[in-house]
Every structure is written in structure tokens, then in C-alpha cells.
Amino acid sequence: MKSKNYILKSFMALFLIGIWSCSSDNDPVEVVEEKPVEKTLVVNVSEIDFENTEGYFELSIDTNIDSWVISTSGTSWLSLDKTTGSSGVSTVTISTENNSSIAARSAIITVNANGISAVKITVNQKGAFSSNGIYPDYNLNPIPADPTGMSSTAQEIAAKISLGWNLGNTLEATGGETAWGNPMVTKELITSVKANEFNAIRIPCSWNQYLEDETNAKLKESWLNRVKEVVQYCIDNDMHVILNIHWDGGWLENNVNETSKTNVNAKQKAFWEQIAIHLRDFDERLLFASANEPNAEDEGQMAVLNSYHQTFIDAVRSTGGKNAYRTLVVQGPSTDVEKTNTLMTNLPVDNVQNRLMVEVHYYTPYQFALMTEDATWGKMFYYWGANYHSSTDNSRNASWGEEADLQNYFKLMKSQFVDKGIPVVLGEFAAIKRENLSGENLQLHLNSRAYYLKSVVQQAKANGLLPFYWDAGNMGNHSSALFNRTNNTVYDQQALDALKDGLN
């Protein structure tokens, strides 16, 4: 029995060893797999904002991918200094061009790498707004100063102007060029004016009613072209031209105050940049004038007015070309001789020497020159001048503002400006014709009026002022027309002769 048991136990042991051995050979071996490296693509911004001027930004790209590609969305104003790169940290310089458009613009930059989602960066650029943030800056492409045809100083130009004429109630008319009864300006009219011994024309001009975009003070190209066409009529006749911003709804003239100063200066800048650029190629025969009759009554308002004039000068000069040397005209307070003498004690700064003129107007005495009905404070004057008073209608004789006053007023301008090398433009003067009178009274009035016009021209020339007669175009009673603009003939020969007589 023992032998059998031993044999059985031995057999069992071998069997168990075999089973264990087989089991051990078939157990799986645990293998630790190496995890793949996560792909990364990181940039330092998701959005970039630029001003409207040329700009630069350094975009940082950090990636562990072998290669990447960067591109813009087909945008010409945006450029990259490189378009590909490899793993690691790279820098791409993004450049923007100047945005001359009023509108802002945007683009998308995309960074692509294999095996990972693209990264997108938004790029924004502001529209062309000026530093004051109110209106766009229209002087985006100033050109180098061009002295060709611009050699004359203000004094030398003044010496060339003998007698000037106003194209009144036309390009400044509210509602359009013909809204106040005058026909469209023609080259034939300007030729007729030149043929009658005027060698300079002042063009009162409205701008604010010709806006393509009121929000941005953008002028219509069609209006700029029309004004340019009329200026060309004058230049073709070898005449000097003074072009201004006239009353224009009063946005400047009725707002010479601290409250309105910022907004008015913004519009003054926007308008004059556009005007100056559009007319930049005319030679020295074209002069620009800041305003018309700005209402200023005291030193505080005068300081504000000078800021408007300074804006005008800076805007024109900044456009370059011939405008860098153009003679410019600034207006006295209300263009009134006495106020100008009292308040205009200094002028705005012009870095170009000897290229400024001052402007005043003369309708004195008002009761003779312009008044059309009696008022509680005074009556109309029909007769002016010591030798032209009526003996039968003496209540209508001028009681002030006659020869001595005329001489004294103009002497003020001579001593204040002309003697210091600053020419003075007598931008407007006239006396209306009172055709409601009859008989001897009418004839005396007409003779008196002719004497007044002759005297104004004489005293202007004697004191170095440049006389520009105000012709509103309308004919008949209470008119100041010299020419019939429908057929380009002389309408008021007596007044025309008087003006020319004043030159002798």
C-alpha cells in the first residue's frame, strides 16, 4: 500500500507541476505604452486694434508642431513679415496701412498647423477720424510744398489788385446757385466783368448745404468741382480770386464763443482741408478767406475768432503743394473797421512769412448804404456828401459817416495793418439804389450815390485798402447790381463809372 501511495503522490506532484508550468507560460505580459505628445498652437492675442494710421504689432506664435502657416483674409491693407514657421516660439510682425476711409475696417488672420484646429485673430482698424474725434481728417495725403507760381508776397499781390468785384448772392445762395434769382455763373459773365476794368473777383461761397455726409462733414465732389469751374473762369481771365466760406447758415459766424469753439473748429478744419486739397493746383492768383462777417464783440470772442482763423491757416498749409505758400485772408470782428481796430490787436500765426491779409467791410453810414425802411432809432439817408445834400428833403441828408469819417476809418486800417506790411481787403462796400424816389430827388440821390462810391474807392486806394464792390445781382429798387447777368451787359453805368473814377 505504501508503495502504491508513493507512486500516486509522485504522479500527482508531476501533474501539478505540469499544470503550473503551462499556466505560467500563457499569462499575458503587461506592456506600458508611451502616450503621444499633445499638439499645441498658442498665440498671444485673439484680437488686435489699430488706429487709422500706419501701425505695427508683434504676434507671438508658440507651437510644438513641426511647421505652421499664417495668412490674411485676402486683405491688401494688412501685411505679414513672414507666412511660415517651425516649432518653438516665433514672432510675426503685422503691419497696417493708413486707413483713408471714414469707415472702420477689419480682417481675420489665420494660423494653421497639421493635426490641430486653426487659430484665428481678428484685426480691427479705426476709420479716418481727426484728433478731435468729431469729423474725419481729410488731409491724408499731403504733398511736398510747391513754390511754382507762388513767388509773390501778400504785399506784391495787393499791388496787382486795382479794383475788385463780388459775385454776390450766387454761390452762397441758400438753396442753390440760382435760388436768389441770379442765373448760373458763366465764363461770359466773368469775361464781361474783366472787360469793365475789374481785375479781381471775390467769390462768396456756401459749403454746409452741399454735404454728401453730414455726420462726417464731407463735401459733395460735384460742388467742389463747380466751385473749381467758376474759379477757373476767373483765372482764365487773368484775375485774382478770393474764395471764402460765407455766412453758410451761420455755423461759424453766429457761434464765436467758447461753448461752440470745439465743434466750429472741427468743421472749419474739415471744410478747409477738402477745399484746399481740391483747389491746390491753382497758382497765387487764388486766395482763400477764412470766413465772411464773424460776429465778435469783445476780447473773449476775438480770442475765439482767432482760433477759427488759426485752424483755417493750419488746415490750408498742411495740405502742401501751392497751398504751402498761398496768400490767406482773415476777417476782423464783424468785419467792422472800428471793432477790428480795437479788438484785432494780434493775428493768428502763419509760419510762412508775408502771406496774410486782413479783411474788413464798409457800409457806413448804414442808413445810406443799406437801410430800406425807417426805424425808431433813425431814418433812411438818401443823400451823402457835403455837396450833395438836399435843400428840400433835408431830413434825408446824411448826418454822420460822411467824408471825414470815411477818411478816418480807412486811416485806422492803414496805421494798424498796411503800414506794418499787412494788406487790407475791403471785401465789401456798396450803396443801394433808391429808385422809389422821383424827379430831382432821384437824380440828386443817384449823383450822391456815385460820389459815395467814388469816394470809397479813392480813400481805399489812398490808404492801401483793396476795394471789392458788392454786386448782389438783383436789379431795380434797393439794388446794387452793376451788370445784367442774363445778358452780361452793364446795368448801372453811372455806378460803374464812379468806381473807375475813384481809381484816378
**Catalytic center residues:** 293, 428
Could you give the 3-state DSSP secondary structure of residue 109?
Answer: strand
Q: Which residue has the cell 481729410?
A: 138
Q: How many CA atoms lie within 13 A of 240 on its CB side?
A: 28
Residues whose CB is less than 8 angstroms from the CB of residue 153 and which lie 6 or more positions away in sequence, other chains included = 327, 353, 354, 355
Q: Where do the DSSP E strands lie in 179-331?
A: 200-203, 211-213, 218-219, 240-244, 286-289, 320-321, 328-331
Cβ-contact 308, 294 below 8 angstroms: yes
- Strand 55-72 relative to strand 41-43, pairing: antiparallel
Whether omega for the bond prior to residue 144 falls within 30 degrees of 0, making it cis, is: no
Q: Which amino acid is at 182?
A: N
How far apart CA 323 and CA 287 sit, in angstroms, is 9
Cβ-contact 214, 207 below 8 angstroms: no
- Phi and psi at residue 107, to the nearest 5°: -150, 165
User: What is the total residue count of the chain?
Assistant: 504
